[in-house]
Homo-oligomer: A and B are copies of this chain.
Amino acid sequence: MSFEYELIKTCSQSGARLGKLHTPHGVIETPIFMPVGTQATVKSLTPEELKEVGSQIILSNTYHLYIRPGTEVIEAAGGLHKFMNWDGPILTDSGGYQVFSLGDLRQIREDGVTFRSHLDGSKHFISPENAVEIQNILGSDIIMAFDECTPYPADYDYSRKSMERTVRWAKRCKDAHKNTEKQALFGIVQGGMYEDLRKISAQETVKMDFPGYAIGGLSVGEPKDLMYKVLDWTVPELPPHKPRYLMGVGSIDALFEGVIKGIDMFDCVLQTRIARNGTAMTSGGKVVIKNAQYMKDFTPLDHECDCYTCRNYSRAYLRHLMKANEILGMRLLTYHNLHFTLNTMKNIRQAIQEDRLLDYKAEFFNKYGY
């Protein structure tokens, strides 16, 4: 198939990987951060703007698209790429995470999950098979197996049973996948916060020979040290010639740590969500733009940044827009935060190329003030 991971080099200073991921909609340089377009749109931005800020691949959420506009609308459009006018690679999740997040609205059985729509309360059933079928219709380049994102905290017994079911579901997803030429199905490692469960999960999932592997169930409330431990347990079990995706993780420090621990792909709503609330990520750390100190600050949001927002607008104007709840403010901060994150990932790739990622990390956080 037209999907392949190419390991270009490993940073001699940090162990981080530089690679290329070939997909039907283009080549992705890894490590990469994927902006999240939950409802077939990365909130507030156009596809052209996503490219301007350096997005190579975006993520969209199967659950949300299934509920609205509905799979049949996207099928009639000729797939998600055409529907949303994005011609680059797309990764879709399986819907599992959202369905499990519904709490009382869902019921888990071995065959799948029955749930009620968060919009209208209508009843639905999602199984490993139809999670894959829906993603086959969406036509995303990378599709994800239907798993249970084990909650935190969870005891050993629950974590083991949940992980074992995720393994059984992964097999069913693989068997159900009908479009292996144009869509790569990734397996997902679960196992809660337990070393042996994580290793078993990784080993069993790797046995099924997926074209890529995700590490799920992290950034769900656990301390960051524990998340990094899980990566230390899990990553060595994953084959070097396949891409590794750390799901739902994207805080700036976790991006650095994840890359250093061998992760190639990340996604997170953090950058876009905090932007809409008025928080900017800058080379000098976070800027809460509504603060009174920026009222007459006519300098750019980030004096080291050359993005559209920083080239054209002052902190004072951005503060005014956010105080007045203006859409343009959310747009400009979203644009900047994604540019900042994707530019940092670009610098990370450059540092790996130059075998100096630990140095770059130290320089970065010396300014960022983490």
Contact = CB atoms under 8 A, between A and B. Distances in A.
Contact of A43 (B68, B83, B328): B328
Contacts of A295: 69, 73
Contacts of A298: 76-77
A312 interface: yes
Nearest to A309: B46
Contacts of A130: none
Contact of A321 (B41, B312, B313, B331): B41
Identify the 6 closest CB pairs spanning chains A and B, nearest first: A44-B327, A69-B320, A39-B324, A41-B328, A76-B296, A85-B312
B40 A320 contact: yes
Contacts of A77: 296, 298, 314, 316-317
A317 B76 contact: no
Interface in A7-25: none
B83 A40 contact: no
A330 interface: yes
A105 to B, nearest CB: 19
Given A77-B298, A323-B68, A323-B69, A46 B316 contact: no
Interface in A303-350: 312-314, 316-317, 319-321, 323-324, 326-331
Of the four ranges (under 10, 10 to 19, 20 to 34, 35 or more), the interface on chain A belongs to: 35 or more
Contacts of A320: 39-40, 68-69, 73, 83
19 contacts: A40-B317, A40-B320, A41-B321, A41-B329, A43-B328, A44-B328, A46-B331, A68-B323, A69-B320, A69-B323, A76-B296, A77-B314, A77-B316, A83-B314, A83-B320, A84-B317, A85-B312, A85-B313, A327-B330
Interface of A: 39-41, 43-47, 68-69, 72-73, 76-77, 83-85, 295-296, 298, 312-314, 316-317, 319-321, 323-324, 326-331
A331 B326 contact: no
A286 to B, nearest CB: 22
A84 B316 CA distance: 10
A39 B329 CA distance: 12
Contacts of A324: 39, 41, 68
A39 B317 contact: no
A43 to B, nearest CB: 6
Most buried by B among A47, A73, A83, A320: A320
Nearest to A65: B320
